[in-house]
């Protein structure tokens, strides 16, 4: 007999401890989980993760993807110098490569595939390093896409709408964040670090909660604090919405790029001076 089939899983053990009845719906399971939390079977973080796992079963690709307008793409005509600069600016590791427009996705470029051309850029040919793009419909269940990503060792898929047009992009990280919440990667700063950090002589990483007064003092700007107290609030005000990673806005002499954000707030900005 298979022991894995005879042993109750985590949820079954909780339900057995709280109630002898088998739940009839996902709502019943959530109710039992909350009862278990109230009885201190597990803490609040565990409850939040379990609820996310239950919600995940109902999610589709459209719930996790970034939209077409927010996609960071590389054009097939871009030089290697332009591509490297764009990679440094966005801090991504994979990019859709397009032809005439975003509906014409030719393939996926992995940043690491450019390393062999760093000392011989004249040999660079974008077509030779492109990898096939995976295309998925907006309505595909996230759980099914996660399984495909794991089986195919893929990390990115281009999302198409019902008419075959490109509607967005979804990554492995986007899916995982729907289960466990926001994930910090190697490009996310230590929030205990300085609010304004010079990455280079012309580029700065800024904590979004940095007060506008401090921004003005550091950069010699004269941003108003009438609409917002922090630089993150000012950027959101300028854009008119809560931005996502990769969005850009020019405010006075500075261009701000969103380096880290989630569905609730803006975390980190990258700033460069606009060259006159």
Q: Which residues contact 181 (CB under 8 A, 6 or more apart)?
A: 48, 52, 262
Question: What value, to the nearest 5°, has the Cα angle with vertex 206 and ends 205 and 212?
Answer: 150
118-145 pLDDT, tens digit each: 888 899 999 999 999 999 999 999 989 9
Query: Would you say 274 and 250 are in contact if contact means Cβ atoms under 8 Å apart?
Result: yes
Q: Which residues contact 195 (CB under 8 A, 6 or more apart)?
A: 206, 207, 209, 210, 214
> By C-alpha distance, which of 164, 148, 144, 158 is closest to 108?
158
* pLDDT in the model for residue 129: 94
Q: Which CATH architecture has domain 63-180?
A: Roll (3.10)
Question: What value, to the nearest 5°, has the Cα angle with vertex 106 and ends 102 and 109?
Answer: 100
* pLDDT in the model for residue 189: 46
Look at residue 94 and give its three-state secondary structure.
strand
* pLDDT in the model for residue 1: 45
* pLDDT in the model for residue 128: 92
* pLDDT in the model for residue 68: 84
* pLDDT in the model for residue 259: 86
Burial class (CB in 10 A: 0-12, 13-18, 19+), 24: exposed
Q: Which residues contact 93 (CB under 8 A, 6 or more apart)?
A: 110, 111, 112
The domain locations on the chain are 8-58, 63-180, 196-273
In angstroms, the CA 160 to CA 162 distance is 7
In angstroms, the CA 65 to CA 169 distance is 5
CATH number of 196-273: 3.30.465.10
| pTM of model > 0.75 | no
Counting as low any pLDDT under 70, the low residues of the chain are: 1-33, 36-37, 39-54, 181-194, 263-264, 276
* pLDDT in the model for residue 276: 65
In angstroms, the CA 195 to CA 224 distance is 19
* pLDDT in the model for residue 130: 95
């Amino acid at each position: 007999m298979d022991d894995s089939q005879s042993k109750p899983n985590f949820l079954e053990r909780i339900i057995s401890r709280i109630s002898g009845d088998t739940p009839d719906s996902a709502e019943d399971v959530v109710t039992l989980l909350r009862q278990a939390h109230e009885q201190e079977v597990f803490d609040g973080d565990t409850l939040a993760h379990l609820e996310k796992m239950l919600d995940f079963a109902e999610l589709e690709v459209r719930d996790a993807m970034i939209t077409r307008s927010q996609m960071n793409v590389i054009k097939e005509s871009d030089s290697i110098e332009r591509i490297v600069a764009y990679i440094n600016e966005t801090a991504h590791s994979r990019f859709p490569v397009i032809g005439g427009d975003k509906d014409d996705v030719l393939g996926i470029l992995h940043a690491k595939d450019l390393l062999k051309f760093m000392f011989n850029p004249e040999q660079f040919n974008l077509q030779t390093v492109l990898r096939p793009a995976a295309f998925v419909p907006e309505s595909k269940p996230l759980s099914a896409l996660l399984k495909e990503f794991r089986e195919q060792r893929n990390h990115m898929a281009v999302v198409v709408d019902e008419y075959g047009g490109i509607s967005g992009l979804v990554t492995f990280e986007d899916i995982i964040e729907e289960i466990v919440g926001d994930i910090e990667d190697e490009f996310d700063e230590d929030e205990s670090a300085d609010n304004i950090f010079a990455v280079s002589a012309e580029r700065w990483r800024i904590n979004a909660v940095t007060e506008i007064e401090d921004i003005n003092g550091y950069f010699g700007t004269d941003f108003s604090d009438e609409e917002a107290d922090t630089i993150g609030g000012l950027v959101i005000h300028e854009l008119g919405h809560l931005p996502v990673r990769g969005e850009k806005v020019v405010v006075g002499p500075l261009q701000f790029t969103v380096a880290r954000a989630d569905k609730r707030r803006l975390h980190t900005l990258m700033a460069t001076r606009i060259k006159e």
